[in-house]
Amino acid sequence: MYQTLSTQLDNNILIVTINRPEKMNALNQQMMGELGLVIDEIYRNKDIKAAILTGSGEKAFVAGADISEFLTLSPKQGEELAKSGHVVFQRIEYSSKPIIAAVNGFALGGGCELAMACHFRIASENAKFGQPEVNLGLIPGYGGTQRLTQLVGKGKATELMMTGDMLTATEAQAWGLVNHVVKLEELLPKAIAILQKIQTKAPLAIARVVKCVNAAVDKDVDGWETEIHEFAACFATKDLQEGAEAFIQKRQANFKGE
């Protein structure tokens, strides 16, 4: 089905592997289109409860964009390219199902932006992060200026984007860009273990966590009012009843997403 991605569904977790190893998994327009399709599948397929985005091989998650595609673009075409990227990455960010990035190697430019669009990030020890677009006379165009600022703060984000420097996995964790740093062979097992834990929780509540967290950084939404509304909505669910009864009865809750 895909030429730039491979997918594997196991225990309700879809592992999406970006698969252009000859180009260090660089983003191109075909890959962006296929990412949009796989995100649609995550939204639509009830058998998919969560997803992991990772890169093929050991060197790169996504080592940037395919620069050869930029050489002939007009400003209008550049605008359209950025808008299309925003749409795909926002659908990742706003997914009611957890989507996490398992970053193996370089996550630069569009690759760093893709990782930041995920709900959170786990990195291998050899991972490196950066927004080096200024080296090409560009700036991040897929939401990187906004998400990096939200994640690490204005001063650090500005320095990183102005210098084009890269962060090691350890530095990225210290800056708040990455949640966990593990050995390369432990990367997918760690991501799967976290998602398996999340799958034991109430799925409607997980979706509301995503909505409220996104509202906290959305200038057009009142995050406080969103939290009140979503908290109240939980009381109309069978999951809340099940969770409360399980707690009182000292047993494991069996949530059904209802």
Q: Any idea which residues carry the catalytic annotation?
A: 113, 133
21: phi then psi, degrees, rounded to nearest 5: -60, -30
Neighbouring-strand partners of residue 181: 123
Question: Would you call 53 helix, strand, or coil by DSSP?
Answer: strand
* Helix 75-93 / helix 110-117 crossing angle, nearest 10 deg: 30
User: Residues 227, 114, 199, CA angle at the centre, nearest 5°?
Assistant: 50
User: Cβ–Cβ contacts within 10 Å for residue 197, how many?
Assistant: 9
Rounded CA gap, 186 and 169, in Å?
14
> Which amino acid, 184?
L
Rounded CA gap, 72 and 69, in Å?
7
User: Residues 143, 147, 149, CA angle at the centre, nearest 5°?
Assistant: 120
Q: Would you say 181 and 170 are in contact if contact means Cβ atoms under 8 Å apart?
A: yes
User: Residues 109, 115, 118, CA angle at the centre, nearest 5°?
Assistant: 145
Rounded CA gap, 131 and 68, in Å?
18
Name the residue with tokens 């084009």.
Answer: 164
Neighbouring-strand partners of residue 6: 17
Q: List the structure tokens of 239.
A: 């999951």
